Amino acid sequence: MTHKILVLAGDGIGPEIMEATELVIGALVKRFGLDVSLEHALMGGAAIDDCGEPLPASTLDLARRSDAILLGAVGGPKWEKIDRARRPERGLLALRSELELFCNLRPAVLFAPLAASSTLKPDVVAGLDIMIIRELTGGIYFGEPRGIEVAPDGTRSGRNTMVYNEHEISRIARLGFDIAGKRQGRLCSVDKANVLETTELWRDIVTSLGDEYPAIELSHMYVDNAAMQLVRNPKQFDVIVTSNLFGDVLSDLASMLTGSIGMLPSASLDADGKGMFEPVHGSAPDIAGQDLANPLATIQSLAMMLRYTLDESAHAERIERAVARTLDKGYRTGDIYSDGMQKIGTRAMAEQVVTALGD
């Protein structure tokens, strides 16, 4: 069966990392028999320039009809001045919400040859392998009421609402237990239950679900402590499950443990395992169009797509081995460069991965 993939390159470095990733797709199709068809559509700033909307109805429609979505990055200074409701990021949030992609998987894995690229001491991060599970369609990102109000005396107030219902908490928590069961069996639920009632409920629900998973070692941690523990002793974690906002912050933090945010892929899945796959990093407008961006986060997002949604794990493993091999050979983009390595650009990095597919 032909898998239908929708490609949304987006803005900034999006188009070049996507072109690089398409080289890998092309090689898997040509040399290893992967059966996919690609369709391209506009989203984010590119779509605003085209039709005034960050998520055009035609793109959403294609997204619903495809088997999986590969996304580059969205946003940039060019669109920062326009009305908040029409900014590129809103397109991304709308896509997550419309497709009910509530489960965001953000693995933070350190490739051994990159231990020196982390700002932390190599022995603190060597062998690091954490899975952060971020709730993606609820919490303060989507809660109502929200907005900026002006009082009669002219004082402005901004408001957002952090809200989770039982169903939203238990479905993401269950995934946390299931995924921990396939790894080292340790789940850490991160909240702020000492202050926020939303997360008091979160902790209650996760705790009671724990009874159904006796084989999983469940722990709870306040988010401030979790941030500290992630830099103090990150290897204490196996799987972290947390809310939308906390997951946003902690996943950027965890990315630096692995050397560069340019390395980290992500998967955003719905209840049936269908989803969207994107690098954790943003559109990096400062280096866009210069062949400097690291394409490995997007290439590994492709691997996650093949594993989690398209049921093509042999191809996923082939990509992951090729990425590891390419790093072993000493090839580096600027963000992961260290002395003695060979510095190459976006496209050349993808070409090296393509070469290593057959290794």
Rank residues 191 and 248 by Cβ distance to Mg ion and give the closer one: 248
When asked if residue 270 is in the footprint of ligand IPM (CB under 6 A), the reply is: no
Compute the least distance from the CB of residue 253 to ligand IPM, in Å. Answer: 12
Rank residues 139 and 176 by Cβ distance to ligand IPM and give the closer one: 139
Site for Mg ion in 197-256 (CB under 5 A): 248
Three-class DSSP category at 46? helix
Q: Which two tokens stand for residue 119?
A: 């700002």
DSSP 66-112: SSEEEEEE---GGGTTS-GGGSHHHHHHHHHHHTT--EEEEEEE--G
Catalytic option among 50, 61, 224, 311? 224
Rank residues 168 and 248 by Cβ distance to ligand IPM and give the closer one: 248
Compute the least distance from the CB of residue 240 to Mg ion, in Å. Answer: 15
Alpha-carbon gap, residue 96 to 55, rounded angstroms: 11
Is 121 an active-site residue? no
DSSP category for residue 196: -
Place of tokens 């609820």: 138
DSSP category for residue 154: S
When asked if residue 248 is in the footprint of ligand IPM (CB under 6 A), the reply is: yes
Is 50 an active-site residue? no
According to CB under 6 A, which one of 19, 67, 89, 100 is a site residue for ligand IPM? 89
Is 4 an active-site residue? no
Compute the least distance from the CB of residue 303 to Mg ion, in Å. Answer: 21
Q: Whose CA is closest to 162, among 89, 85, 248, 250?
A: 248
Q: Whose CA is closest to 265, among 301, 304, 296?
A: 301
Rank residues 14 and 234 by Cβ distance to ligand IPM and give the closer one: 14
Alpha-carbon gap, residue 220 to 336, rounded angstroms: 33
Catalytic option among 11, 238, 248, 335? 248
Place of tokens 């238990």: 170
When asked if residue 22 is in the footprint of Mg ion (CB under 5 A), the reply is: no
Is 308 an active-site residue? no
Provide the CB-side half-sphere exposure for 84 (13 A, CA). 3
Site for ligand IPM in 40-69 (CB under 6 A): none
Q: Can you say how many angstroms the Cα of residue 272 is from the centroid of all Cα atoms in its chain? A: 18
Catalytic option among 67, 129, 252, 270? 252
Task: Count how many residues are written for the chain.
Answer: 359
Q: Which does 89 bind (CB under 5 to 8 A by kind): Mg ion, ligand IPM, none?
A: ligand IPM
When asked if residue 92 is in the footprint of ligand IPM (CB under 6 A), the reply is: yes
Is 192 an active-site residue? yes
Q: Which does 68 bind (CB under 5 to 8 A by kind): ligand IPM, Mg ion, none?
A: none
* Cα separation values, 210 from 54, 169, 176, 219, 271, Å: 40, 13, 11, 10, 20
Compute the least distance from the CB of residue 248 to Mg ion, in Å. Answer: 4
Binding site for ligand IPM (CB under 6 A): 89, 92-93, 248
User: Which residues participate in catalysis according to the annotation?
Assistant: 141, 192, 224, 248, 252
